[in-house]
Structure 1
Amino acid sequence: MSDTDFPTAAETARPLAVVTGASTGIGYELARLFADDGFDLIVAADTSLAEAQQTFEGLGARVETLQADLSTEDGVQSLYDLIGGRPVDALAANAGHGLGEGFLDQDFADIRHVIDTNITGTTQLLHLVGRDMRERGRGQILLTGSIAGLMPGTFQAVYNASKAYVDSFSFALRNELKDTGVSVTVLMPGPTETEFFERAGMEDTAVGQGKKMEASKVAEIGYAAMKRGDGDVVAGLMNKLQAATAAVTPQTVLAEMHRKQAEPGSGT
């Protein structure tokens, strides 16, 4: 779809949502919910969005796609340029990557990519879009954090630390924007049935082989929380219990517990 095919805010009453990491998993399911709820979409991912675009358009949404690496400044800027000053009613900052194995056994380029995607790119996008929302005095932001951010991630150290940043950042930004008409919600899922564990090289771990929530259910929980304007939501009863346990358990104990789940070969 060309830029001329995409209506301006003056030409349509449909709200606009921007969703990152929308080709698969939670991001795809969030974009589907937005489309089904009457939103038009700008969706971005680092893999092809052709199939996803057909699905979203089949739900009545006008869709623009961007395949880009949102770990880079140029990638994030290209997404912001695609928005082109149009009012964004909702931003679902979902793009993220995992990384398994021991920290010293990981390639530093992979480590850097996780940090730049989960932290730097996400922060840059929120800085750009969030300023516009604040200026208009309205908007909803949904960040995909994780209960992983509540505990030391033995054999997943960089990923958990990156999600600790996202979780913390969301609460601080929400407080800063509390009187502006812009809401910030963080969705904190546990293990979810997505391509995450395959891409993170964690298929042979206990957590990789364990029971997981469906991405569609996780997205529904996060979407409903965003619509209500909640500050945070943990997806799933067992994950709520794990989050509560993490709040009162010593960090050294949590690190050992995480080791049993994420150590390579622990699922065999």
Structure 2
Amino acid sequence: MTEARSLAVVTGASTGIGYELAKICATNGFDLVVAADEPTINQAAEEFRGLGAMTEAVETDLATLEGVDRLYDAVRRLGRPVDALLANAGVGLGKGFLDQDFAKVRRVIDTNVTGTVYLIHKIGRDMRARNAGRILITGSIAGYMPGSFQAVYNASKAFLDNFAFALRNEMKDTEVTVSVLMPGPTDTEFFRRAEMLDTEVGQAKKDDPAVVAKAGFDAMMSGEGDVVSGWKNKLQTTLANIMPPGILAEQHRKMAAPGSGKSS
């Protein structure tokens, strides 16, 4: 049974969108290697096994090259090719840039950018050598706008959105597809971890992570270049393409400034 199934690697799979992506993979013929930087990844893995997927859990810090190497080594020990890489791990950080602890700033960059592209570089090379595979990168509609009071996070997602389109173009003459999922605010642990619960966006109604994940999985499986989940988010990205950056930054300030949620 194991050999008949494909293999997917899902990062940030302990909660939120990553957890839902792994669940969908498990119920659609994929065995799993799932990774996160917290012990709850082991509990999540048990749930994925209950859905019929052989699941290897790796608790590792994907903000470090060593942590990514640990995940990659676990994949290689299985002796099976990776059919799908769902690079979803990411962290956020609220408040003004100059008020942030720089260790936390660097962690956003190291997790969202460095660790993500390093993992894609390693597994993507294996896929290219086989001329087969699917890559889904979790970007964000945040990458379309200057993120006042979330500046580094939005910039990191702008990097990922842009990187995904570039890599897709570089791979267009191969059988390796690259897709990018661009969610809007989603009902996950993100805003609590980013210390943004007192903001307007932190208190507002958010998208269902299961629905967001399904949109991303479907885009990956059909080889689509990108998917923005939800009509409101689609409208927001359309407007972001025509509005001046200064206005976008001011709009983001109203959503993300500390204390902005108290009057809403």
The TM tier, using the shorter chain, reads over 0.9
- Which secondary structure state, in structure 2, belongs to the residue aligned with residue 203 of structure 1? coil
3-state SS of 1:158 partner: helix
Normalised to the residue count of structure 2, the TM-score between the two structures is 0.97
Q: Do structure 1's residue 60 and structure 2's residue 52 form an aligned pair?
A: yes
Aligned position for 1:190: 184
The code of the aligned residue for 2:22 comes to: A
Matching residue of 2:143: 149
Aligned partner of 2:240 among 224, 233, 246 = 246
How far did residue 38 of structure 1 move?
1.2
SS in 2 for 1:248: coil
CA distance in 1 between counterparts of 2:45 and 2:68 reads: 20
In structure 2, what is the Cα distance between the partners aligned to 1:196 and 1:176?
32
For 1:50 and 1:78, the matched residues in 2 are separated by 16
The Cα offsets for residues 40-93 of structure 1, whole Å up to 9 and x where unpaired, read as 000000112122112100110000000111000100000110111520000000
Aligned counterpart in structure 2 of residue 40 of structure 1, from 31, 54, 78: 31
Alignment of 1:9-28 (within 5 A): 12-28=3-19
After superposition, the C-alpha distances for 1:183-238 in whole angstroms (9 at most, x for unaligned) are 00000000000000000000000000001001000000111111110000000000
1:226 aligns with 2:220: yes
Please say if 1:135 is aligned against 2:126: no
CA distance in 1, matches of 2:96, 2:251: 15
Answering whether residue 74 of structure 2 is matched by residue 82 of structure 1, we say yes
| Partner amino acid, structure 1, of 2:232 | M
SS where residue 41 of structure 1 aligns?
strand
Structure 1 counterpart of 2:43: 51
Task: Confirm whether residue 267 of structure 1 aligns to residue 261 of structure 2.
Answer: yes
Counterparts of residues 75-224 of structure 1 (less than 5 Å): 75-84=67-76, 86-224=80-218
Q: Percent identity?
A: 64
Name 1:3's counterpart in structure 2. none
Q: Distance in 2 between matches of 1:128 and 1:50?
A: 24
Deviations 1:160-204 (Å, cap 9, x if unpaired)?
000000000000000000111000000000000000000000000
Question: What residue ranges of structure 2 are gaps of 5+ in the alignment?
Answer: none
- Correspondence for 2:20: 29
Equivalent position to 2:231, from 225, 234, 237: 237
SS in 1 for 2:218: helix
> How high is the TM-score relative to the length of structure 1?
0.95
Supply the distance in 1 between the matched residues of 2:83 and 2:66 (Cα, whole angstroms): 23
Runs of 4+ in 1 over 2 A off after TM superposition: none
The CA RMSD over aligned residues, in Å, is: 0.9
The one-letter amino acid of 2:55's match is: V
